[in-house]
A and B are shown apart, each in its own frame.
Chain A
Amino acid sequence: DQQVKQNSPSLSVQEGRISILNCDYTNSMFDYFLWYKKYPAEGPTFLISISSIKDKNEDGRFTVFLNKSAKHLSLHIVPSQPGDSAVYFCAASAQGGTSYGKLTFGQGTILTVHP
């Protein structure tokens, strides 16, 4: 049962344009969402997060949007740079219970930004 889904395995974007990565979730108990970036031969690194009480969070070139009714979130990167080329994972967390702090990850989207 894939509770967090990233339906696009890959995305190719021109440098300077916007990159939009999408993520859907099914578990209504999720209330905190994060994006991680992963380069080859390295572990994932935290990028940006959003709580379910917000619908938008911005950090420099990165903005995450959350649509709770649609159980959908997206990561916007503007402008995209070649160094942004990596695998992007969406992750979700549910507060409370025994799984406090545990993250459920999507399958990842490979972003390639062409110069």
Chain B
Amino acid sequence: DSGVTQTPKHLITATGQRVTLRCSPRSGDLSVYWYQQSLDQGLQFLIQYYNGEERAKGNILERFSAQQFPDLHSELNLSSLELGDSALYFCASSVDLIPSSPLHFGNGTRLTVT
């Protein structure tokens, strides 16, 4: 158990809809990362937060947004969903921003857009 909790585990929705994925980091971790894993792809970095503030953005679509709340949990909002958004979405947390502090991943949310 990594200590990172992601909800829901599975989500099935229709094109054009909006969903929210939730992540609770490990206790004491200040940094939260969101990654997307599509079929046969590696993990693609979406966005990073540290102590409530956005730190880095990757290949995140404008239809996607995220935030980290004062209690450090994070939410990833996906809107105007398309079939191609179907993927595994992972949240990870780390205690700080030092590369030697490993990321701890949740078990992911599997999003299916029909």
Contacts and interface: CB of A to CB of B under 8 A. Distances in A.
A41 interface: yes
A99 B108 CA distance: 22
B99 A44 contact: no
A115 interface: no
B48 A49 contact: no
A42 B88 CA distance: 11
A38 B22 CA distance: 21
A34 interface: yes
A6 B43 CA distance: 12
A93 interface: yes
B18 interface: no
B96 A107 contact: no
> Main SS of the interface on chain A?
loop
A63 B107 CA distance: 26
B104 interface: yes
A101 B31 contact: yes
A101 B92 contact: no
A102 interface: yes
Contact of B56 (A42, A44, A102, A107): A102
B105 A100 contact: no
A107 B42 contact: yes
Interface of A: 4, 6, 31-32, 34, 36, 41-46, 49, 51, 89, 93, 95, 98-108
7 contacts: A31-B99, A44-B43, A51-B100, A98-B56, A101-B50, A102-B45, A105-B43
Which 3 residue pairs of A and B lie closest in terms of their CB atoms, listed nearest first? A43-B105, A46-B102, A32-B99
